[in-house]
Chains A and B, each alone.
Chain A
Amino acid sequence: MLRIRLEPRGERSLLWTVASPVVAIALTVIAAGAIFALLGRAPGEALYTFLIAPLVSDNGPPELLVKAAPLVLIGVGLSLGFRAGVWNIGAEGQYILGAICGAGLGLAYPETPALVLYPAMMLLGVLGGAALGAIPALLRTRFNASEILTSLMLTYVMQLLLIYLVTGPWRDPEGYGFPQTAMFSPDATAPILFEGTRVHLGALTALAVALAGWLLLGRSVYGFQLRVLGQAPRAARFAGFSENRLVWLSMLLSGGLAGLAGLFEVSGPIGQLMPSISPGYGFTAIIVAYLGRLHPLGVLVAGLTLALSYLGGEAAQIELKLPSAVTGIFQGVLLFFLLGCDLLILYRIRLTRPRVLGAA
């Protein structure tokens, strides 16, 4: 009889830190094939439609960047917080408030030259997201309330606020009664990076933010403190690091980045405010952060990977007539496999034979 035993490695395995996401993705693809088969679709063909076809089509790669931009922006912020045990899971709400704040300015002063208007909209997007991130930070540091629940509750409130604005005071009077605002003026629209695509300034910003996050984490005192607080909270306390300051830093940073992502999305690909401005980017970014090993550069790769799941979901909807919900299922399965495989970072699995006394 063989017994499975977990043996602590004593240190984190670098190999498995990198290999775990790869294995998890491979397992998810296999599981996805099985799910397609269960839904009565030919697995091989369905997987090709979901994973490969979006990449080899003409507008596939640029669309991948469009979808990856918000995921990377939010994911970088979340990954820094998660490292310190600050669980901001309300990025979706911060994304919405950032979009609302920036969009408000763009709608109010559409004729202002872009060089003044757009940076100001970006700033308001960051401030809006950070302001919403500040509430859970305040409630945790002052009143000990779990930021998990408070940040999530605020997301529901923000969704309602958005619906109120687009059906009420901000509704486009010339919009035939549709619940949406007017389109942004050209000056209030995110600059396009490559002619003929939808790739906007947000993609470049996401790249810059990932690099800056890498420097912050690896080269700054705050980054060091974040890492210590996450790995050894007691040591952090003895070293005199202020936990409260790190909670504030993580919440403001991740909130601000989520707000910026929201502003880019509405002023870029969407072009106006409407009741639904996100296919769940704020929640998917949680998976992005984990898949990217809570490292800003890893988040860059992970963001592109999960962007593919959105493109694949759209393709599956059109060509396989499957509900877009399959994307959520695959994303959940991916995180399951990833968390399971991460066991191997700290432990090795040993098969042991219980020794019988007296046997040679």
Chain B
Amino acid sequence: MSFPLTTFILSIMTSSTPLLLAASGELVVEKSGVLNLGLEGMMLVGAVVGFAVTYHTGSALLGAFCGALAGMLLASVFAVLTLSLLANQVATGLALTIFGTGLSALAGSSYVGLAGPPIPILDVPVLSALPVIGPIVFQQNGFVYASFALLGAIAWFLYRSHAGLILRAVGDSHEAAHAIGYNVIGIRYLAVAFGGAMAGLAGADLSIGYNTNWAENMTAGRGWIALALVVFSTWRPFWLVVGAYLFGGIMYASLYVQGTGLAIPSQFVASLPYLATIAVLVAISRDRARIRLNAPACLGLSFRAAG
């Protein structure tokens, strides 16, 4: 067969992973009732920090860790403003993106054009020799494995653990959760910090896994697409995987088609992921009842304990 199916699937997986990482972090944040629109900014900062650390130390693991930490730091600025100072979440999220875009461009200016070390492939011996399945399931970089492990852990946490139940309660009715005695603000701080770490990790994946270089604005809207994916999934982890892979696939396909030199102008093909995001949002959001049933009821609302 001339069509390289395995390579094709592998490429889709690496292009979907940053989306899946960022969106699963935002899922936890939104489940706690907070809307953080700053994903794009946190991803960019995670990308530049991840690249810089990997470039200097040669360790992708350390790079990923520092990228996540950077995302978490940025998210904590958002948390202080929205949770302690009761600032509007939409405006603060936008501020985070503007700030993160500027910060990453400044910090990364001396790294533009440098090539980082290739990402190590974690090969599971014996199993990776299986045809087709082997390379796809048992021969990936750490980010791909981590994205599934983390999403599984998140799904388990949200729906099978007591702490997850509390987090969902905080997101669905902060007044009631507070009345029972839960620390609404404290729980939201943790959720926002976790979401920031995941966004930072997603950014690090872009600059040390998916690519091995840093470029200004390299996220190209992936943070916003990840936000749309959370709506697309109607806040359910399994559908997040479907959405992330659908969009990873579209992004890869658009690159692939541009590479084949078809007669279509490449800009039209490049705009496909953005148009698809709009189409998908419309398709899901039009069912108001389903959105209302699944969206955390306190999403985007500030909370202040009375008295």
Chain A residues within 8 Å of B, Cβ to Cβ: 6, 87, 89, 139, 142-146, 148-150, 152-154, 156-157, 160-161, 163-164, 168, 283-284, 286-287, 290, 322-323, 325-333, 335-336, 339-340, 342-343, 346-347
4 extra interface residue pairs, beta carbon distance < 8 Å, beyond A150-B281, A168-B265, A329-B99:
A149-B281, A153-B228, A164-B268, A332-B99
Say which residue of A153, A156, A335, A346 sits within 8 Å of B98 (CB atoms). A335
Contacts A143-B285, A149-B277, A153-B275; A336 near B224 (Cβ below 8 A): no
Residue of B nearest to A89 (CB): B94
Say which residue of A153, A332, A339 sits within 8 Å of B274 (CB atoms). A153
Contact partners of A290 in chain B: CB under 8 A: 91
* Alpha-carbon distance A161/B265, docked complex (angstroms): 10
Contacts A339-B81, A342-B87; A164 near B267 (Cβ below 8 A): yes
Residue of B nearest to A151 (CB): B278
Contact yes or no, B87 A332, CB < 8 A: no
Contact yes or no, A286 B109, CB < 8 A: no
Contact partners of A146 in chain B: CB under 8 A: 231, 281, 285
Say which residue of B90, B106, B275, B281 sits within 8 Å of A329 (CB atoms). B106
Contact yes or no, A328 B102, CB < 8 A: yes
Contact yes or no, A347 B278, CB < 8 A: no
Q: Which 10 A-B pairs have the closest CB atoms?
A: A328-B102, A332-B99, A325-B105, A335-B95, A339-B87, A164-B267, A329-B102, A160-B267, A143-B286, A325-B106
- Check B85 for interface membership: any CB of A closer than 8 A: yes
Residue of B nearest to A87 (CB): B90
Contacts A152-B224, A157-B274; A328 near B99 (Cβ below 8 A): yes
22 contacts between A and B (CB under 8 A): A6-B304, A145-B281, A149-B228, A149-B231, A153-B224, A153-B275, A156-B221, A160-B271, A164-B265, A164-B267, A284-B98, A287-B98, A325-B102, A325-B216, A329-B99, A329-B102, A331-B102, A332-B96, A332-B98, A335-B98, A336-B81, A347-B86
Contact partners of A139 in chain B: CB under 8 A: 278, 281-282
Contact partners of B231 in chain A: CB under 8 A: 146, 149
Minimal beta-carbon separation of A160 from chain B (angstroms): 4
Contacts A329-B102, A329-B106, A336-B77; A163 near B95 (Cβ below 8 A): no
Contact yes or no, A333 B99, CB < 8 A: yes
Contact yes or no, A144 B91, CB < 8 A: no
- Check B291 for interface membership: any CB of A closer than 8 A: yes
Say which residue of A144, A323, A328, A333 sits within 8 Å of B109 (CB atoms). A323
- Check B56 for interface membership: any CB of A closer than 8 A: no
- Check B227 for interface membership: any CB of A closer than 8 A: yes
Minimal beta-carbon separation of B86 from chain A (angstroms): 6
Total chain B interface residues with beta-carbon distance under 8 A:
47
- Check B270 for interface membership: any CB of A closer than 8 A: yes
Minimal beta-carbon separation of B94 from chain A (angstroms): 6
Contact yes or no, B281 A328, CB < 8 A: no
Residue of B nearest to A165 (CB): B267
- Check B101 for interface membership: any CB of A closer than 8 A: yes
Contact yes or no, B282 A332, CB < 8 A: no
Contact yes or no, B98 A331, CB < 8 A: yes
* Alpha-carbon distance A89/B98, docked complex (angstroms): 12
- Check B162 for interface membership: any CB of A closer than 8 A: no
* Alpha-carbon distance A72/B118, docked complex (angstroms): 47
Contacts A145-B281, A153-B221; A328 near B98 (Cβ below 8 A): yes
Contact partners of A329 in chain B: CB under 8 A: 99, 102-103, 106
* Alpha-carbon distance A84/B281, docked complex (angstroms): 22
- Check B18 for interface membership: any CB of A closer than 8 A: no
Residue of A nearest to B280 (CB): A145
* Alpha-carbon distance A190/B123, docked complex (angstroms): 62
Contact yes or no, B98 A325, CB < 8 A: no
Residue of B nearest to A327 (CB): B102
* Alpha-carbon distance A289/B51, docked complex (angstroms): 35
Contact yes or no, B109 A150, CB < 8 A: no
Contacts A87-B90, A144-B285, A343-B86; A153 near B102 (Cβ below 8 A): no
Contact partners of A283 in chain B: CB under 8 A: 94, 98
- Check B57 for interface membership: any CB of A closer than 8 A: no
Contact partners of B265 in chain A: CB under 8 A: 164, 168
Minimal beta-carbon separation of A33 from chain B (angstroms): 16
Residue of A nearest to B103 (CB): A329
Interface string of B20-45 (1 = CB under 8 A from A): 00000000000000000100010000
* Alpha-carbon distance A10/B268, docked complex (angstroms): 53
Contact yes or no, A145 B98, CB < 8 A: no
Contact partners of B106 in chain A: CB under 8 A: 322-323, 325-326, 329
Contact yes or no, A343 B282, CB < 8 A: no
Contact yes or no, B282 A143, CB < 8 A: yes
Residue of B nearest to A289 (CB): B91
Minimal beta-carbon separation of A250 from chain B (angstroms): 15
Contact yes or no, B81 A332, CB < 8 A: no
Contact yes or no, B94 A161, CB < 8 A: no
Which residues of chain B from 240 to 290 have a CB within 8 Å of any chain A CB?
265, 267-268, 270-271, 274-275, 277-278, 281-282, 285-286, 288
Minimal beta-carbon separation of B257 from chain A (angstroms): 14
* Alpha-carbon distance A61/B106, docked complex (angstroms): 28
Residue of A nearest to B95 (CB): A335
* Alpha-carbon distance A168/B268, docked complex (angstroms): 12
